[in-house]
């Protein structure tokens, strides 16, 4: 399991005497959180994209998730040095292709209606060469993650899918007008009309209510975060939808995974939706410490 340029960064945290296979895998499928991640990929693409698309990137990427995942891995190993943990951070902005989707090679770019699961490939990806480049990188990422999940969960280990979400839930169509809509809805006179999300959301069931996640880890995580003063919900924002890679892996390794969301404003000094955000190390330490304790 190695980093792939332009696709993902892999970090292995090894304790003394740890085995060859990590005990814990932490996946961050929306780990392209830096302006440089967006700019680097844009420089390789040929198509014309909606004006101000970077605004959508900043609003819709999982700021803080890579930092929480890595610090959790470090604390997990520090607590018992005979273990090891691997962190996979995706570098492909979901603004173009979403690596937490099950995307068929024959899929076509598409938009989504308000409240729907956002598409695997966004509607503004029109150039055939852009589509081929994005699909090749997505495929490389998916193959690495599925192989890593097989290695870790197949050997009895655990996998965490670590995400963060914006403080408020905005149900708007994701199409060519997404930037204009987001700017309208984030206006001070409108944003507070949208519901506030829970600080911690554990995504554990299918839409039909089947529990796929690790029951013991759910209970421990609920207890750890609740005792620290964070409201915790189950499946508050969404469920393990079958179009997601998280659901596919969770179903394959039932009882060995946990997908979770942290609210982004709990990890940054200021939530600035249309700008690059940087995490507060103390806030990362607090949430990662509670997650590591649950593990």
Instruction: Indicate the Cα dihedral angle 286, 288, 292, 294, nearest 10°.
Output: 70
- Confirm whether 13 is domain-assigned: yes
Beta-sheet pairing, 200-203 with 84-90? unpaired
Using the predicted structure, report yes or no on whether residue 246 has a pLDDT greater than 90: yes
What's the confidence (pLDDT) of residue 16? 87
Structure tokens at 227: 């005792």
- DSSP track, 128-143: HHHHHHHHHHHHHHHH
pLDDT in tens, 178-203: 999 999 999 999 999 999 999 999 99
CATH code of residue 27: 3.40.630.40
Tell which wins on pLDDT, 235 or 115: 235
pLDDT in tens, 69-98: 999 999 999 999 899 999 999 999 999 999
- Domain span including residue 267: 8-294
Mean pLDDT computed over 113-141:
89
What's the confidence (pLDDT) of residue 281? 98
Number of domains in the chain: 1
Angle, helices 178-185 vs 53-60, to 10°: value is 60
- Confirm whether 1 is domain-assigned: no
pTM to 2 decimal places: 0.95
Percent of residues, the chain, with pLDDT higher than 90: 88
Instruction: Note the Cα 228 to chain centre separation in Å.
Output: 23
Angle at 264 between CA 193 and CA 95, to 5 degrees: 90
For the sheet with 158-165, list strands across it: 8-14, 84-90, 24-28, 158-165, 257-263, 200-203, 232-234
Using the predicted structure, report yes or no on whether residue 112 has a pLDDT greater than 70: no
Q: How many helices and strands, by DSSP H and E, does the chain display?
A: 8, 7
- Confirm whether 3 is domain-assigned: no
- Confirm whether 233 is domain-assigned: yes
């Amino acid at each position: 399991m190695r980093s792939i340029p332009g696709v993902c960064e892999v970090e292995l945290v090894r304790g003394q005497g740890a085995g060859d296979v990590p005990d814990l895998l932490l996946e961050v499928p929306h780990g392209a959180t830096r302006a440089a991640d967006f700019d680097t990929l844009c420089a390789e693409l040929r198509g014309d994209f909606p004006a101000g698309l970077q605004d959508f990137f900043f609003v819709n990427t999982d700021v803080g998730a890579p930092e929480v995942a890595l610090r959790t891995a470090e604390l997990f190993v520090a607590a018992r040095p005979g273990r090891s943990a691997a962190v996979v951070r995706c570098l492909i902005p979901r603004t173009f292709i979403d690596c937490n989707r099950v995307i068929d090679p024959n899929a076509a770019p598409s938009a989504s209606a308000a409240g729907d699961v956002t598409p695997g490939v966004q509607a503004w990806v029109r150039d055939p060469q852009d589509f081929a480049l994005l699909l090749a990188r997505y495929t490389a990422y998916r193959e690495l993650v599925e192989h890593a999940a097989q290695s870790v969960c197949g050997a009895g280990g655990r996998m965490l899918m670590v995400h963060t979400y914006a403080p408020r839930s905005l149900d708007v169509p994701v199409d060519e007008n997404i930037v204009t809509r987001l700017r309208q809805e984030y206006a001070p006179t409108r944003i507070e009309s949208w519901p506030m999300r829970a600080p911690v959301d554990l995504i554990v069931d299918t839409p039909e209510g089947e529990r796929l996640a690790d029951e013991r880890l759910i209970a421990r995580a609920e207890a750890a975060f609740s005792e620290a003063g964070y409201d915790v919900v189950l499946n508050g924002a969404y469920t393990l939808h079958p179009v997601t890679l998280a659901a596919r892996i969770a179903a394959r390794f039932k009882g060995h995974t946990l997908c979770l969301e942290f609210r982004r404003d709990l990890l940054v000094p200021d939530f600035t939706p249309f700008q690059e955000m940087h995490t507060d190390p103390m806030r990362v330490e607090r949430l990662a410490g509670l997650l590591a304790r649950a593990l």
